[in-house]
Amino acid sequence: MPRKPTRHRRLLPVQPLTFSPFARSVARVATAYLLNHHIRDATQQSAGVELNEKLKKVDRQSESSEDEAFDGVVQADFAFFDPKPDDFHGVKTLLQTYLDNKQWDLSGFIDLILGQTTVGTVVKLEGDEDNGVFSVITALNLGRYKDHKCITELKEFLLNVCQDKDKIGNLRALLGDKSLNVGLLVSQRVVNLPPELLPHLYDALFDEVSWATEDEPTEELRNSFHFKFYILVSKIYEHKNANQKRSSSADKDEAIIYIKPEDEIFRKLSIWSFLFPLQIQQVTTHELKNYQLTGIVMAVKAENISSFRQQLRTLINES
Amino acid sequence: MATRLMFENSCEVGVFSKLTNAYCLVAIGGSESFYSTFEAELADVIPVVKTSIAGTRIIGRLCAGNKNGLILPHTTTDQELQHLRNTLPDQVVVQRVDERLSALGNCIACNDHVALTHTDLDRETEELIADVLGVEVFRQTIAGNILVGSYCAFSNRGGLVHPHTSIEDLDELSTLLQVPLVAGTVNRGSEVIAAGMTVNDWTAFCGADTTATELSVIESVFKLRDAQPTAIVDEMRKSLIDSYV
């Protein structure tokens, strides 16, 4: 793999002069930097007021506590970066169980994600020497990468694991003829990542997708980001009691627990979805002893994404 | 020859296996292909034994051994100890040791003549290592890390250490161990050498992420290829062109 020059996000003041993709990226980073900067200074002028207040509360708590006593409050500045080859091990750790326990070309898959620097974001700490990756999000065009071994194995896995006879036809179509318009939305993060980051993370991704449709150098690449559908592979907790699953929608909250809050919104907006059993060993806590970790595959129409972004923002701001 | 393989989607093969000149231990629960890769390379020469230690699969990091003996942590169950005593060759002394630092594979790195150990190891454990493994024991650090068993892997013919080891440290260690050493990485830049690979005098097993360059460095420092009296550059060129999995 040719080594791309590492692009470190240097913090620059906001200067939205031109409409070039570089300037847009800079403007986005600068906005993120300003957000952090304001929060650090504990002023009230930043854009995300609620976000600001929550983190100010965190600031006050950590200031009032003793230096020696660790009361569980940690100050962290998260920053969004383009995927870089250095992020390989961090992203690999996050995506280790992406396809259950199937032995597949995960390294090749990670290379695809890291090679696509125009669309995709990696969340890391500002100025962290360990280069720890906290979250990764990207959208891969299934048609563009269809010749890669990892994508063939992924398609094979999804088709094998789909036990729903109605949905398998739809799945086959999306993975086959329509694959040039289908984006695989990969989003994975550490369990305790602050949910305030989610709207920004998804905004960043979908904005990058729309910018890529204009900014990519070749026509083919530009078209490859005109997604009509997104496919998501994720995990949820399903109540072990099968009767509960078939009960009315009023009980739906207890029937399924969504590990990632955005999965619930995606599922509501999806054109179809199906569940599949997982084979990896599961660690169950006391609260989740009635629940079974299950895989879920969903397909969402690209036109519903703006509604998704709005619903996600509302969901996070309420919680 | 060095072989690339994976254990259940993990490239850390040195965690799930232990290879010496007299036997090979392999973790249970992995796919049959993991076990059969070892069998294919080693079956005619040394026994390949499936086992767990303390009920876990991380056997490579919990035990330390060479052709003379095998040292197990106090958490090893009696059945496991008996199983190992039965299946390993008679000349291999299997001993369980009462040591606070129970991840012996992370604390001890050894070949058939010399062992490097964690600086805080008990005196009794050190004597036991010298007895059971028949080695000379040195308390050392590698690039400032006390877990010597994790950050280096060496055989009787060569050794690979943490990439940030200084030249002076390399020279000092090389004199102690009496083998050529090289600072390098395994599994595409991973610094935890012993977790990513396992080696003996004629073969090595590395994680599937190991690049061709890393593999060629491993093959040359451990002298795994048929010796060619050519410069290192030629050897590198050959393995860079050769895309072998």
CA distances from B69 to A233, A316, B22, B90, B203 (A): 48, 59, 9, 10, 20
Rounded to two decimals, what is the model's pTM?
A: 0.75
Assigned token pair, B84:
């190992």
CB A96 to CB B189 under 8 A?
A: no
Tokens 């896995």 identify what position?
Answer: A157
B31, B189, B209 ranked by CB distance to A107: nearest:
B209
Domain regions of chain B by residue span: 2-240
> Which top CATH class is A77-318?
alpha beta
* ipTM of this complex prediction, to 2 decimal places: 0.75
CB B189 to CB A88 under 8 A?
A: yes
Region B2-240: CATH code: 3.75.10.10
Q: How far is the C-alpha of B187 from the C-alpha of B185, rounded, in Å? A: 7
Q: How far is the C-alpha of B123 from the C-alpha of A304, rounded, in Å? A: 68
Q: By three-state DSSP, how is residue A234 classified?
A: strand
Domain regions of chain A by residue span: 77-318
A88, A89, A106 ranked by CB distance to B9: nearest:
A106
Q: How far is the C-alpha of B148 from the C-alpha of B119, rounded, in Å? A: 9
B13-64 pLDDT, tens digit per residue, is 999 999 999 999 999 987 888 999 999 999 889 999 999 999 999 999 999 9
Residues of chain B in contact with residue A103, where contact means CB-CB under 8 angstroms, are 6, 8-9, 31
Mutation to test the B interface, candidates A84, A96, A99, A103, most B Cβ within 10 Å:
A103
pLDDT in single tens digits along all 319 residues of chain A = 444 444 444 444 444 445 555 556 566 555 555 555 444 444 444 334 444 444 444 444 444 444 455 677 888 889 999 999 989 999 999 999 899 888 899 999 999 999 999 999 999 998 777 788 999 999 999 999 989 999 999 999 999 998 888 888 889 888 888 888 999 999 999 988 989 999 999 999 999 999 999 988 888 888 889 999 999 999 999 888 755 445 554 444 478 889 999 999 999 999 999 999 998 877 778 888 888 899 999 999 999 999 999 999 999 888 7
Spatial neighbors of A42 by CB under 8 A, at least 6 apart, are A56, A59
